[in-house]
Amino acid sequence: MLKEQFLCIIPAKGASTRLKKKNIVSLCGKPLIFYTIDAARKSDFFKDIIVSTDDEEIKAVSESFGAVVPYKRPEKLSHDPAGVVDVCLHMIEYLEEQGRHYEVLFILLPTSPLRTELDIMSAFEIYKGSAAKVLMSVSEYEHTPFAALKLDDSGSLSPYFPEYIGMKSQEMPKAYRANGAITIIDIKEFKKQRLYYFCPMAAYIMPWERSIDVDNYNDLKLAEYIISYKQKDTL
């Protein structure tokens, strides 16, 4: 497939609750969104790397690293209940009105700074070899959810999955979580479904150390530690 058939969208709103200006917070001396733009650029998949934002500072930072910000995101798409699906569909519709049509959409969240260009390329190989119309990057749960307990109003504990009580964690089924690093979707099907959770769904499994989702200060410090450690390891 040609670059012109691939669309890369990085959704990056300005407001953030747990970590102020999260999408451009400094991580090892660079704004968080830099790492996603850089991975997309190094994959060499995309003619344009597009950022959807409602924030002028994010727009300026993104453009300084070579991304394209076609417009300022409408106010209605900057608050709940609007989400990534609404933002991406709006961008696709806008681009199609400009005569720009694509076949495959890559959604790369800026809060996944440790995803690499090789992850993007490897994920696409799985997507291409699958019959699925959507692929999500996932990582294995560090602690199995099948051992989870619930606490009722009286303070009493009970298992969510009683059938697994007494089993060792390695005896329980493996479970995975979507990590937000990479989502690949057939655009025609995306426009039809108007969501990206639909089956069949292919998976690209990533290790936990590249699956960090920066949502708060502790996540940021962990990502910083991993990047610093890798930099030392290459010296």
Q: What per-residue confidence (pLDDT) applies to 231? A: 67
What's the pTM value of the predicted model, to 2 decimals? 0.91
Q: What per-residue confidence (pLDDT) applies to 163? A: 94
Q: What per-residue confidence (pLDDT) applies to 233? A: 58
Angle between helices 32-43 and 117-128 (to 10 degrees): 50
Closest CA to 146 of 125, 175, 112, 122: 175
Q: What per-residue confidence (pLDDT) applies to 57? A: 96
**Measured CA distances, 71 to 68, 74, 85, 132 (Å):** 9, 9, 17, 32
* Backbone torsion region of residue 166, taken as left when φ is above 0, otherwise alpha when ψ lies between -120 and 50, otherwise beta: left
Q: What per-residue confidence (pLDDT) applies to 2? A: 63
Q: What is the pLDDT along the chain (235 residues), one digit of tens a residue?
A: 666 799 999 999 988 888 989 999 999 999 999 999 999 999 999 988 999 999 999 999 999 999 999 999 988 877 766 789 999 999 999 999 999 999 999 999 999 999 999 999 999 999 999 999 999 999 999 889 999 999 999 999 999 999 998 899 889 999 999 999 999 999 999 999 999 888 999 999 999 999 999 999 999 999 999 999 876 655 4
Report d(CA 46, CA 38) in Å as an integer: 12
> How many residues would you count in the chain?
235
CATH superfamily of 3-140+176-233: Spore Coat Polysaccharide Biosynthesis Protein SpsA; Chain A (3.90.550.10)
**Measured CA distances, 168 to 74, 128, 131, 146, 171 (Å):** 50, 37, 35, 11, 5
Q: What per-residue confidence (pLDDT) applies to 1? A: 64
Side-chain half-sphere CA neighbours of 231 within 13 A: 8
Helix (H) or strand (E) holding 140: strand 134-140
Closest CA to 185 of 5, 2, 31, 3: 5
Long-range contacts formed by 122-126: CB under 8 A, 24+ apart: 122/204, 123/182, 123/184, 123/204, 124/45, 124/184, 126/202, 126/203, 126/204
- Whether 192 and 92 have beta carbons less than 8 Å apart is answered as no
Report d(CA 70, CA 65) in Å as an integer: 15
**Measured CA distances, 99 to 5, 46, 71, 203 (Å):** 13, 17, 16, 32
Edge-to-edge strands, sheet with 134-140: 49-52, 6-11, 104-107, 176-186, 134-140, 201-205
Q: What per-residue confidence (pLDDT) applies to 4? A: 76
Closest CA to 109 of 47, 175, 48, 39: 39
- Whether 111 and 211 have beta carbons less than 8 Å apart is answered as no
